[in-house]
Chains A and B, each alone.
Chain A
Amino acid sequence: MAIKEFHEKLKNRKTSAREAVSGYLEKIKKENSVLNAFLEVFEEEAMRGAEEVDSRIASGEEPGGLWGVPIAVKDNILIKGNIASASSKILGNYRAAYDASVITKLKKAGAIFIGRTNMDEFAMGSSTENSAYGPTKNPLDTKRVPGGSSGGSAAAVAAEMSMAALGSDTGGSIRQPAAFCGTVGLKPTYGAVSRSGLIAMASSLDQIGPITQTVEDAEILFNAIKGKDIYDATSTEKNTSRKPEDAKMKIGIPEEYFAEGLDGRIRDTIDNLIEKMKGRFSFREISLPHTKYAVSCYYIIMPAEVSSNMARFDGIRYGARKHGRDLAEIYKKSRGEGIGLEVRRRILLGTYVLSHGYYDAYYMRAQKVRTLIKKDFDEAFKEVDLIISPTTPTLPFNIGEKSSDPLSMYLSDIYTISANLAGVPAISVPGGNIEDGGKDFAVGVQLVAPRFMENLLFEAGKAVEEER
């Protein structure tokens, strides 16, 4: 059941929050032992929250739009008093001292947190295999990965173990798993949603966003969590409005996103969809010429920021501490044993690109290329209102297929990374189906809009849902 439908039923007393929450808890009990989407289920808290919602309705209060809505929360978003481990051993016992700002907002709106979801450790990965607590499996085919890093959240929504979920997206970590699991995933404009209480990965790229069953649900959740927040100086308030009231929206098709490396079946599905959407939108070919540099640029800037952000996990103030002769050895041992290989690899890569003698060749150059990538979007949005592309170059890959080859794993984010570098919002919406190996998969269609124009994504995203 989608959020709006549930809200109507709740309002008309056709269902109760308890009924909804206990339904999802049942589903989790049945499915989670196989899928491993949840690291922890907040059964008692969720039931208590549901009872409170029901008793307020019984006493005559008019329910708000998110009252009683069960939401699964990625394990890198803090909920006061609960463990937030970011799927890492080093934070296995870490309990949050405060609520993330998005959690504060959703609590006030009456939503219910049903559990914390599995992820790639510290959000570094594209398959949710890279978790200290075992891989999550794709509900559409349990031999395959759900994508990552928000794979637990996407699998939870896809398997109807939660009505909706929160994820975080640094280079595609909401959109890619949403595409692999057949759900909707939104990465908001950089600065649209507060990052306070999100365990930081790469601070100039990270954004929290919703993973949902429908575009309308993503819109409802986005409106509930967005806005300026005193705890995040990069958060801003911008009112968006669609520019041309009457004219057909113009959607650009970037040639670089339909080039070599794209599964032909995905290309055909999107071509087909574009044909069907032509009555309502006008399409034109565009070029984003610096696309070919996006992954390289990202794998300099992101690890550089990772290496600084991860310095705080040293076993001193919180997290698992190992013993050593001196302070330096305590750091090295705590980090060596508490932090997984991929995260340590990125810390080292980041340290390298920032170190003396390499800074100009790598980091500064990447910052300049980032400007070129950003300009590509600025230029394109002078001609079109939106950009359409695939979310991923392939269907979900098998568990184990890419886990020993970091570079091929990195390339699975080839279509999603640019939006983070440019700070623009992007949504992945299921845009058709492909049968593969006897299983049915959704094709993720990515729509990208100018900064703070999420409303255009919702408008066109709903059209994708209707026409697919």
Chain B
Amino acid sequence: MISKEDIEHLKNLARVEFGEKETEALARDLSGILDFINKLSEADISEASETTHAAEIMNVMRKDDDEDFFEMEGRESIVSDFPEKETSKLLHEGTESVWLKVKAPIQKE
């Protein structure tokens, strides 16, 4: 059984919100799902190692080349997908600069 406090804690850890009604349904559904997956406690795993991937495990390296982001294909598209931005002409004379806006990670008290 999963408690209300557990759910509030998980919501915070996972950075997601649920409405009030959704939270009630969630507690019920999660408990049902957890009961079901608890079936695994019957399995004899004493001889088994962990599978972390379906593929054979091998190390794959790429070439250690540098890439110039300003020349990169698709750069404009990445910029245009950014939710909040501002265009200004202040820094580079004649050229437009795009400023990508985010909230300050640390707020002043």
Q: Which of A's residues lie within 8 Å of B, judged by CB?
A: 80-81, 94-98, 190-191, 204-205, 230, 233-234, 236, 290, 292-293, 295-297, 299-300, 307, 311, 314-321, 324-328, 330-333, 335-337, 339, 341, 344-345, 347-349, 351-352, 355, 361-362, 364-372, 374-375, 406-407, 410, 420-423
Q: In whole angstroms, what is the CA distance A292 to B82 when docked?
A: 45
B78 at the interface (CB under 8 A from A): yes
Contact A406 B33 (CB under 8 A): yes
Q: Which of B22, B37, B105 has a CB less than 8 Å from the CB of A327? A: B105
A368 and B48 contacting across the interface, CB-CB below 8 Å: yes
Bound complex: CA of A369 vs CA of B10, how far in Å?
Answer: 25
Cβ contacts A to B, 8 pairs, < 8 Å: A233-B60, A292-B39, A293-B40, A332-B15, A345-B29, A349-B33, A364-B50, A374-B54
Is B11 an interface position by the 8 A CB rule? Answer: yes
Q: Scan residues 60-105 of chain B and give those whose CB is less than 8 A from a CB of chain A.
A: 60, 62, 73-75, 77-78, 80-84, 102-105
Instruction: Report the count of interface residues on B (CB-CB < 8 A).
Output: 52
Given the complex of chains A and B, what is the CA–CA distance between A3 and B61 in angstroms? 37
Are B15 and A98 within 8 A (Cβ)? Answer: no
Distance in angstroms between the alpha carbons of A233 and B53 in the assembled complex: 12
A191, A327, A333: the one contacting B55 at CB < 8 Å is A191
* Bound-state Cα–Cα, A420 to B62, Å: 27
Bound Cα distance A324, B15 (Å): 13
Q: How far is the CB of A333 from chain B (nearest CB, A)?
A: 6
- A314–B16 Cα distance when bound, in Å, is 10
The minimal Cβ–Cβ distance linking A329 to chain B, given in whole angstroms, is: 9
Question: CA of A292 to CA of B13 in the docked complex: distance in angstroms?
Answer: 32
A296–B36 alpha-carbon span in the complex (Å): 7
Contact in complex: A190, B55 (CB < 8 Å): yes
Would you call A369 and B40 a contact (CB within 8 A)?
A: yes
**In whole angstroms, what is the CA distance A81 to B43 when docked?**
48
Contact partners of B7 in chain A: CB under 8 A = 348
CB pair B50 A368 closer than 8 Å? yes
A94 touching B81 in the complex, CB below 8 Å, given contacts A204-B53, A204-B54, A296-B39: yes
User: When A and B form their complex, which 5 residue pairs have the shortest distance between CB atoms, in order from nearest?
Assistant: A423-B54, A336-B17, A97-B74, A367-B50, A97-B77
Does A300 contact B40, Cβ atoms closer than 8 Å? yes
CA distance A347 to B17 in the complex (A): 11
Q: Judge whether B54 and A333 touch: CB under 8 Å.
A: no
Q: Please state if A98 and B14 are interface contacts (CB–CB under 8 Å).
A: no
Q: Are A371 and B49 in contact (CB under 8 A)?
A: yes
Give the shortest distance, in Å, between A7 (CB) and chain B (any CB).
32
